[in-house]
Chain A
Amino acid sequence: EAGVAQSPRYKIIEKRQSVAFWCNPISGHATLYWYQQILGQGPKLLIQFQNNGVVDDSQLPKDRFSAERLKGVDSTLKIQPAKLEDSAVYLCASSPRGPQGRFGTNEKLFFGSGTQLSVL
């Protein structure tokens, strides 16, 4: 079974530039998450999708961050314009969990390798 795919693996940009990250979840997984992990900290949720709908984006800085999940499969996360404090690893995860209120028996999260972003 293929895992969660993310690209690019690394990205270096200057502040005020824009950047986009791509995620392809495990086939059939309904739930997709984007997490931000700053060095030395635990991952912090940015946005959760259930199929192609947003379940929670309360911690997404919407003035600069945006995300979409077209057709309930692949997802992209964009930052425009980037700030120095956006330097972090951006992790995508997926789960087989079904629609909210009806959960599958396997709730495990499967993570991609992440995109390490450096903003100079």
Chain B
Amino acid sequence: KQEVTQIPAALSVPEGENLVLNCSFTDSAIYNLQWFRQDPGKGLTSLLLIQSSQREQTSGRLNASLDKSSGRSTLYIAASQPGDSATYLCAVTTSGGSYIPTFGRGTSLIVHP
């Protein structure tokens, strides 16, 4: 059974800092990995999706990397802004079976001015 862990659970940084959020998974036979953003009281918004054959994906100030052999993904946020404050979750879809996305608990990020 796939297990997904996200570290740290919470993070508070001043505006302008570069950040790294971590996601680890126990089963390396993955199909894809997605990073999501969740604002309080709202649903999840997909930020980046990395296919199993890819090493990284970039969108604006966001960069996500994938290392299947070590069971890790990182989300890099450059030049953080107060508007980046949210909870960031990663979801791993394992190959075979039902291809169910399994989520971590998320990292709660606060960027203060």
Contacts and interface: CB of A to CB of B under 8 A. Distances in A.
Interface of A: 4, 33, 35, 40-45, 48, 55-56, 91, 93, 97, 100, 107-114, 116
Given A108-B34, A108-B49, A109-B34, A45 B101 contact: yes
Contacts of A100: 98-99
Contacts of A33: 101
Contacts, number: 57
Contacts of B100: 45, 48, 56
Given A107-B93, A111-B44, A114-B43, A41 B105 contact: yes
Interface of B: 4, 6, 31-32, 34, 36, 41-46, 49, 51, 89, 91, 93, 97-106
A42 B101 contact: no
Contact of A42 (B45, B49, B93, B105): B105
Contacts of A40: 105
A93 B44 CA distance: 9
Of B6, B97, B100, B105, chain A has the most CB atoms within 10 Å of the CB of B100
A94 to B, nearest CB: 12
12 contacts: A42-B103, A43-B103, A45-B100, A91-B43, A100-B99, A107-B49, A108-B46, A109-B34, A109-B46, A111-B36, A114-B42, A114-B43
Nearest to A100: B99
Nearest to A112: B43
B98 A55 contact: yes
Contact of A107 (B32, B36, B104): B32
**Closest 4 interchain pairs by CB?**
A42-B103, A111-B43, A56-B98, A111-B44
Given A40-B105, A111-B45, A48 B89 contact: no
B49 A91 contact: no
B89 A42 contact: yes
A109 B91 contact: yes
Contacts of B104: 42
Contacts of B31: 107
B101 A44 contact: no
A4 B36 CA distance: 16
A93 B43 CA distance: 9
